[in-house]
Amino acid sequence: MERRRFLGHIAACVTIGMWGFTFISIAVLLRDFSPLEILLFRFGLGTLVLYIAYPKRMGKTTLRQELLFAGAGLTGVALYGLAQAVALVYTSASNVSVIVASTPVFMGLFSWWLLGKRRPTATFFAGFFVAISGIALISFSGIRLELNLGGDLLALIAAICWGLFAVFGQKISALGHHFIHETRRSFLYGFLFLIPAAFFGDFHFGLERFSDPSNLFNMLFLALGSSALCFALWNFALNRLGPVTAGAYIYLKPIVTVVAAVLVLSETVTWTNVSGIALILCGVLLSGRKPRREAEVSAE
């Protein structure tokens, strides 16, 4: 059991580490691509890669199982991706990053309400407020906070969708399929749900844009690493750790993004960043802390 949880923590760390670099790649691609184009190319290629890398057929599924996969694709790929992408058009990236960082709370609440898991403790919510304070310090350092009801509401919808995606992920993991099978089937449904948006949104194939090595590298990173690999590892982590413990790792994404910005974009680290990182780490430790009684049972 301890080995299973250890591997789950490793998978969560790798996933969050790569997801932290995602914003950097998106920032580079936005020079030549619209948010919808990035989303469709990213998950379309990611879906294709998963089927090529793991061509083994999935076992027989029922209608209920297919509905679970469709629900995961709808919430975790289509709605989450679209809501976050469109939110970035109407409000600042800082607003979006802070609001979407509330995701672990929705993961904890939905796992309690819909799956009958352990009710989130006061320590969990204390950790949330501490971590959000740190994220706000990093995100709003040196800028003026501006609220945009439409964009901020879309960012909140994205956080809720990811919380629901975690619920579908928990139900799917109980089916006994290989986690790559689970990921690629959810990706397929998510991509199918996204296709109609291409006819109404700002989407053009424009494949000549990939002649730029920077565009090609960053899109491949988003499709192969941030999508195909990371979503598979995230499903693995959810299965091993549960939505509350795995969700706490999401707070670490801004830390990785700060480090990535320093390494890739040559940005400077300020004391505000350092203070924010310290608060986030404290928040993660608080959110992931087990109640004393539960800890004693585990120790026995």
DSSP assignment of 227-247: IIIHHHHHHHHHHHH-HHHHH
Distance from C-alpha of 300 to C-alpha of 138, rounded to nearest angstrom: 41
- Give domain status of residue 169, yes or no: yes
Helix then strand count (H, E) for the chain reads: 15, 0
The larger pLDDT score, comparing residue 100 to residue 207, is at: 207
Cβ 120 vs Cβ 268: under 8 Å: no
Res 143 pLDDT > 60 = no
Closest by CA position to 257, among listed 74, 27, 66, 67 = 27
- Give domain status of residue 259, yes or no: no
Q: Tally the domains of the chain.
A: 1
- Give domain status of residue 290, yes or no: no
- Band (pLDDT 50/70/90 cuts) for residue 15 is very high
Res 293 pLDDT > 60 = no
pLDDT tens digit sequence for 71-101: 999 999 999 988 887 887 787 666 677 777 7
The parent domain of residue 211 ranges over 2-124+144-251
Contacts of residue 142, Cβ cutoff 8 Å, sequence gap at least 6: 272
- Give domain status of residue 163, yes or no: yes
Cβ 239 vs Cβ 247: under 8 Å: no
- Give domain status of residue 11, yes or no: yes
Q: Taking residues 149-168, report their average pLDDT.
A: 87
- Give domain status of residue 35, yes or no: yes
Res 13 pLDDT > 50 = yes
pLDDT tens digit sequence for 89-136: 787 666 677 777 778 888 888 888 888 877 778 888 888 888 788 777
- Band (pLDDT 50/70/90 cuts) for residue 249 is confident
pTM above 0.85, yes or no: no
- Band (pLDDT 50/70/90 cuts) for residue 289 is low
pLDDT tens digit sequence for 27-61: 788 889 988 899 999 999 999 999 998 999 998 89
- Give domain status of residue 285, yes or no: no
Give the number of other Cβ atoms within 10 Å of residue 260's Cβ: 18
Helices 2-29 and 230-241: angle between axes, nearest 10 degrees: 150
- Give domain status of residue 266, yes or no: no
Cβ 283 vs Cβ 130: under 8 Å: yes
Res 257 pLDDT > 80 = no
Cβ 96 vs Cβ 155: under 8 Å: yes
- Band (pLDDT 50/70/90 cuts) for residue 1 is low
DSSP assignment of 26-58: HHHHTTTS-HHHHHHHHHHHHHHHHHHH--PPP
Q: What is the mean pLDDT of the chain?
A: 83
pLDDT at 283: 79
pLDDT at 21: 82
The larger pLDDT score, comparing residue 74 to residue 247, is at: 74
pLDDT at 220: 95
Distance from C-alpha of 201 to C-alpha of 133, rounded to nearest angstrom: 35
Q: Taking residues 163-173, report their average pLDDT.
A: 90
